[in-house]
Structure 1
Amino acid sequence: MTGLRDCRNPRRGQNVCELTFSIITSGKSYNQAAAFTFGREDLIPNMFHTIVTDLNEKFPEQISLFKYYLDRHIEVDGDHHSDLALDMTAELCGQNSGYWKEAELCSRESLNQRIKLWDGVYREILRKDFVAVSV
């Protein structure tokens, strides 16, 4: 992962990438599926729905038609992809309780790294806003 350090990628971003690639290179498809399912497909549709709703409240006249499109896309894509991802994880873990436990730990670590990443982004935004306001 030297390339990540060379381009001055923030440490939190490096951590997410390093974890992602360690999951990929582990060759454990059930962990790959779990990290994808619970760190992305089961999570992102609700996140985008919240963002779209907030934007619509702030700019109702400007995005009302676009909101309809985004809501529909989130609904169709989110439900379909989330269901498929859950099925994929269940198929790969099967009845193996060890796979399920490992997949749970992998999912938790993936989510924890993403939380740290976005908390860092948020703090950086606040820091920049503070600097801009105080100048």
Structure 2
Amino acid sequence: MKSGYCLEQAMQKPSVPISARLFVNSTFSFFKLSAHELAAVFTFSREGITSGMFSSILNHVASSNEQSIKAHEGLQELSFYLKRHIELDGNEHFPKAMQMLTNLAGNDDQKWFEIEHVAKKSLNERIKFLSGIYRQLKSCSYSLAS
């Protein structure tokens, strides 16, 4: 986008992985939803999973490549970033996001039904995106030790 392309043009560039293209498109489609539905997307497919996802990544990298983390400044920065998000998202952001949902939906059963529906849809989109990243990394045979 720095080179003057609008989002739609940038997403069509061959260098953009298909999983990223689909995820960006699905993310932007959620912006048209009602406030409680958009809050559900944010809560469950961002704040609700980040802490666990980042903990898993950090534990895997640390257990298999402890020396690599110490030897590479970039990995130390990534480790700090992941630890910070684990703390913030798990202890602060997710509980506040859940309170936001409660405030938006109250006792309205229809809104809670819509929240559940869109949360599942957004989580499925996130899974597709992360699976695409995993397949791409696996095909590159990327190693932290190299």
Q: Could you tell me the TM-score, scaled by structure 2's length? A: 0.72
Unaligned 5+ segments in structure 2 are: 1-6
Counterpart contact for 1:16–1:110, Cα < 8 Å = no
Cα deviation for residue 107 of structure 1 reads 0.8
Equivalent of residue 41 in structure 1, options 32, 40, 47: 47
Equivalent of residue 12 in structure 1, options 19, 28, 34: 19
Say what the alpha-carbon RMSD is for the aligned residues. Answer: 2.9
Cα deviation for residue 24 of structure 1 reads 0.9
Aligned counterparts of 1:21 and 1:108: Cα–Cα separation in 2: 16
Cα deviation for residue 15 of structure 1 reads 2.3
* Residue 120 to residue 70, structure 1, CA distance change in 2 (3 Å): closer
Aligned counterparts of 1:10 and 1:115: Cα–Cα separation in 2: 15
Equivalent of residue 29 in structure 2, options 22, 28, 32: 22
Query: Does residue 59 of structure 1 match 2:71?
Result: no
* Residue 53 to residue 13, structure 1, CA distance change in 2 (3 Å): same
Percent of aligned positions with the same letter in both sequences? 30
| Residue identity matched to 1:107 | A
Aligned counterparts of 1:6 and 1:114: Cα–Cα separation in 2: 20
Query: Does residue 124 of structure 1 match 2:130?
Result: no
| Residue identity matched to 2:96 | L
Counterpart contact for 2:54–2:86, Cα < 8 Å = yes
Aligned counterparts of 2:36 and 2:57: Cα–Cα separation in 1: 31
Aligned counterparts of 1:88 and 1:7: Cα–Cα separation in 2: 37
Aligned counterparts of 2:131 and 2:49: Cα–Cα separation in 1: 16
Unaligned 5+ segments in structure 1 are: 131-135
Count residues with an aligned counterpart.
Answer: 128
Aligned counterparts of 1:117 and 1:40: Cα–Cα separation in 2: 13
* Matched residue, 1:92: 104
Cα deviation for residue 92 of structure 1 reads 0.8
* Residue 116 to residue 79, structure 1, CA distance change in 2 (3 Å): same
Aligned counterparts of 1:39 and 1:98: Cα–Cα separation in 2: 20
Aligned counterparts of 2:25 and 2:80: Cα–Cα separation in 1: 37
Counterpart contact for 2:48–2:89, Cα < 8 Å = no
